[in-house]
Structure 1
Amino acid sequence: MKLTARRMIAPTVAHLSFLRDDGEPLPCIPGQFVQIHFQYADGSAARRSYSIAIGRDPDAAPDARVEIAVSYVPGGAATALFEALALGATVDASGPFGRFCLYPNDANRRYLLIGTGTGITPYRAMLPQLERQMAERGVEVVLLQGARTPAELLYGDEFRAFAAAHPRFRYMPCLSRELPAADSPLAHPDVRHGYVQNVLPELAPDPAADIAYLCGNPDMVDASFEALKAIGLPVPMIRREKYVSNK
């Protein structure tokens, strides 16, 4: 894949845009990931997995674009690779892989999407699918995004704009350290102070109506999973993917 654009979306997270250098489309399902292949300094093989962050309409033809969010980890081998990668340079990749996707036969009335860090990227990719499901079967969606500060809300502006345009979509940022100033455009009645798992009871998860997705920090995923189970959500209705920051 050839790097075509880079922009910082948080102090330590970059959004990278690639094109397949053979021009072939990448048929993928929102929620899947690609693996980037590279070498450590000693020549041994390494690879890292990154969720595809770009969303496509389910009926649109696949194209050659691949977009990912990358956390920069001090001293990390993958971080060094991406920081040194010039526009137009290429990396080897494989995929797509994964089953952290919306299922075509879902008959739920609401999705609870819970994510932290770059674990939020699958939900960005799912927005076109969710838009269709909201229109066609009236499903409701709540997105709980956990971060420490407002500056770390990856794609927050996009989620806010999507929520403003779609009454069935509710966006709830959960900030553990710093809330936006009262006069900030980021201040909103749906902003919460604390961790995403602590906000779950407020949403009154319904075992008969809800499907939950958990993606991000393993501790958050485990805590949210246990909380949802305790509320009564059946385990098959809780879909999980854990993200670990690898060096």
Structure 2
Amino acid sequence: MIAPTVAHLSFLRDDGQPLDYIPGQFIQVHFTYADGAPARRSYSLATQHDHALGAGEAVEIAVSYVAGGAATALFEGMELGGSVDASGPYGRFCLMPADANQRYLLIGTGTGITPYRAMLPQLGQLIAGRGVEVVLLQGARTPEELLYGDEFRAFADAHPGFRYLPCLSRALPQAGSPLAHADVRHGYVQDALAEFAPNAEGDIAYLCGNPNMVDACFEALKECGLPIPQIRREKYVSNK
């Protein structure tokens, strides 16, 4: 459990092969409801690779536990070594090779932060290779709900071109906590956007997570003059 209601799960393909993917893509888990009807749920890959893929590579996802949820029941009832059926990877919520921007604004809430964890090795290469700046705004209610927050903070400490700002709507970290940092903000991610003066000349934004947050940030970025092609979106909806 990486948060009170979120589990980090790791799988291996049963044929022993790696899952070749682009950071930002997702897989679909297939299962059946109690009445036998087919169901599927989509999960962004949290896996990080900065090397050539090899056999036995983990396939990592973050799963939100939804009360009464069919997928929650599936994962809760799974023993270590259990298996699921899945397909993919799918999706285009990825860093594009043709991008020539000066800065990425990455904004996520809940498990919508997962794609950015997978992108960290790629972002490190872009920071070192062409001096890209990266701002990651992560929204949560409390410090305990900051998924992978310790990893993002460590990455920011190691990469001066990467800035990590947790935006907490209810409770701030206690003094002395590793997450008690000058870059912590009180409020919502959309409220913190203006601080970075989004600019159509140099910015590309990624929005992932709660649909209301995605819509609010999308409108705020458009008001700042960012063209729609420079605002890339993926909405997460909790299903039972």
Which TM-score band applies after superposition, normalised by the shorter structure?
over 0.9
2:214 to 221, 241, 247: 221
1:28 and 1:62 in contact (8 A); partners too = no
Greater Cα shift, 59-68 or 152-161: 59-68
1:61 matched to which residue of 2? 53
Please give the alpha-carbon distance, in whole angstroms, between the structure 2 residues aligned to 1:155 and 1:241.
19
1:164 matched to which residue of 2? 157
- Taking the TM superposition and a 5 Å limit, the aligned residue runs for 1:1-247 are 8-57=1-50, 60-61=52-53, 63=55, 64-247=57-240
User: Percent identity over the alignment?
Assistant: 77
- Offset, 1:112: 0.3
- After superposition, the Cα gap between the structure-2 partners of 1:149 and 1:180, relative to the gap in structure 1 and judged at 3 Å, is same
- Offset, 1:62: 5.1
TM-score normalised by the chain length of structure 1: 0.95
Q: Please, which runs of 5 or more residues in structure 2 have no aligned partner?
A: none
- Offset, 1:224: 0.1
Please give the alpha-carbon distance, in whole angstroms, between the structure 2 residues aligned to 1:184 and 1:125.
25
1:4 matched to which residue of 2? none
TM-score normalised by the chain length of structure 2: 0.98
Please give the alpha-carbon distance, in whole angstroms, between the structure 2 residues aligned to 1:153 and 1:137.
29
User: Which string of whole-angstrom CA distances, capped at 9 and with x for unpartnered residues, describes residues 64-121 of structure 1?
Assistant: 4210000000110000000010011110000000000000010000000000000000
SS of residue in 2 equivalent to 1:105: coil
User: Which string of whole-angstrom CA distances, capped at 9 and with x for unpartnered residues, describes residues 171-197 of structure 1?
Assistant: 000000111123323211100000000
